[in-house]
Amino acid sequence: MLQSIHSTLAYAVLAVLLIAVINAFLGLSAKRNFTKKDRSLSLVALILTHIQLVVGLAVWVTSPLGKEAMSQMSNAALRLTAVEHPLVNILAIALITIGWSKHKKEESSNGKFKKIGFLYFAGLLFILSRIPWSNWMA
C-alpha cells in the first residue's frame, strides 16, 4: 500500500513542482508582485515533497527494493531504487526546502521568485535524474 501511495503521489509531486517552477520564472520575467497565490502554490509543492519524503522513507525500510536490496550493489537497477533514488531525492527535497526558507527572507518579489524558481528547479532536475522509470511505467 505504501508503495502505491508513493507511486501515485509521484505524479502530483512532479506536476505541482513543475507548475511552481514555471510560475516562478514567469513571475520573475514579468517583474510582477509575489502574491498570496504564488505563496500557496510554492507551499503546496513544498508540502507534497515533504509527504513524499516520509512515505519514501517508509517504502524504503519495508520494500524488498529498498534497504534489503542494499546487499546487491553490483546490480544497477537495484542500486538505483535502493540507494541513488533515496539519497538524491533527499538532497532534492533539501534544496526545495532551502528555496522555501530563503524566499521568506527576501523582501522583494523579484528575490522571492528567484529563490523559489532556481532552487525548486534544481530539486526537480535531481528528482528527474533518479526516477526508476522502468518500474514506474511498467
Q: How far is the CB of 93 from ligand HEM (least distance, A)?
A: 6
What is d(CA 61, CA 68) in angstroms, rounded to the nearest whole number? 8
Which CB atom, from 27 or from 123, has the smaller least distance to ligand HEM?
A: 123
What is d(CA 64, CA 59) in angstroms, rounded to the nearest whole number? 9
Which CB atom, from 23 or from 120, has the smaller least distance to ligand HEM?
A: 120
Q: How far is the CB of 31 from ligand HEM (least distance, A)?
A: 25
**Among candidate residues 31, 9, 12, 10, the one with its CA nearest the CA of residue 20:** 12
Q: Which residues lie near ligand HEM (CB under 6 A)?
A: 3, 6-7, 10, 13-14, 46-47, 49-54, 56-57, 59-60, 63, 65-66, 81, 85-86, 89-90, 97, 100-101, 127, 131-132, 135-136
